[in-house]
Amino acid sequence: MVLVEPVPAFRDNYIWVIGNNQYAVAVDPGDAGALQEYLEERKLELVAILCTHHHQDHVGGNLALSKQHGCPVYGPAREKIPAMTHPVSEGDLVRFEEIGASFVVMDLPGHTSGHIAYFGEGALFCGDTLFGCGCGRVFEGTMEEMHASLSRLAALPEATRVYAAHEYTLLNLRFALEVEPENPDLPARKEEDERLDRQGIPTLPSTIGLEKRTNPFLRCEDPAVMRMAARHCGKTLSASAEVFSVLRRWRNEF
């Protein structure tokens, strides 16, 4: 198992650092200063940058970091990523001998049109597609694309650790309880994540299994979720993609 540590950035971002006691690979380094401080404190050499999508809070540190460290920058082939040297897309395999890890690229359109994730070593680095108990807003893709992307993630092994890019879990739990007040797994998750938050510990990573039990956006075929979504929009819903669309718009206004 590779070592993964969070570097907090801005108000609620995480830059995930994958590595060992000598080398590091950084995921979505929006803040060059925060990451550089972390690297210097631990005397780590940055050997690569992985980007999931083009939003500034995920790529803002690329130019400074790649120039300082001379490291390659991987990112979605369908998007313009600062300092990108290795455009990647669905099925590409990225290997890092320095940390003994490799990851498969998944195309996950929805939040942005070219959003990708990196999956491997029992871990998923999913940017702004999947959050703790939630999902990203649909900015450039379609609701159908986002639903399909999340369905692909739900099909990953349940033990997969989910390294999302933002600390939104507690707010997302409030919405999840609104959608599924009778879900027995939600109070336990809320209690545990509130405990972590009080201690200043990230609520992430979660797991695919936990998300499937508690995240309404991965539960669009559950009868209770379908009924609540139908009640909210005032019409019968038969397809899970329709349920997702109602939930996402409801969450936008929550």
Per residue in 19-51, pLDDT tens?
A: 999 999 999 999 999 999 999 999 999 999 999
pLDDT tens, residue by residue, 200-237: 999 999 999 999 999 999 999 999 999 999 999 999 89
pLDDT in the model for residue 235: 92
Write down the pTM of the prediction. 0.97
Furthest-apart CA atoms within the chain: distance in Å:
58
pLDDT tens, residue by residue, 89-145: 999 999 999 999 999 999 999 999 999 999 999 999 999 999 999 999 999 999 999
- Full DSSP string of 139-195: SSS-HHHHHHHHHHHHTS-TT-EEEESB--HHHHHHHHHHH-TT-THHHHHHHHHHH
C-alpha–C-alpha distance, residues 78 and 159, integer Å: 30
Q: How confident is the model at residue 163 (pLDDT cuts 50, 70, 90)?
A: very high
Q: How confident is the model at residue 197 (pLDDT cuts 50, 70, 90)?
A: very high
Q: How confident is the model at residue 2 (pLDDT cuts 50, 70, 90)?
A: confident
Contacts by 198-204 with C-beta closer than 8 Å and gap 24+?
Answer: 202/6, 202/14, 202/167, 203/132, 203/167, 203/169, 203/170, 204/6, 204/14, 204/132, 204/162, 204/163, 204/164, 204/167, 204/169
Catalytic residues: 53, 55, 57-58, 111, 128, 166
Q: Is the pLDDT reported for residue 1 higher than 70? A: no
Domains assigned to the chain: 3-217 (3.60.15.10)
Of 39, 65, 64, 62, residue with least CA distance to 51:
62
Residues with Cβ within 8 Å of residue 9, at least 6 apart in sequence: 15, 29, 30, 31, 34, 35, 57
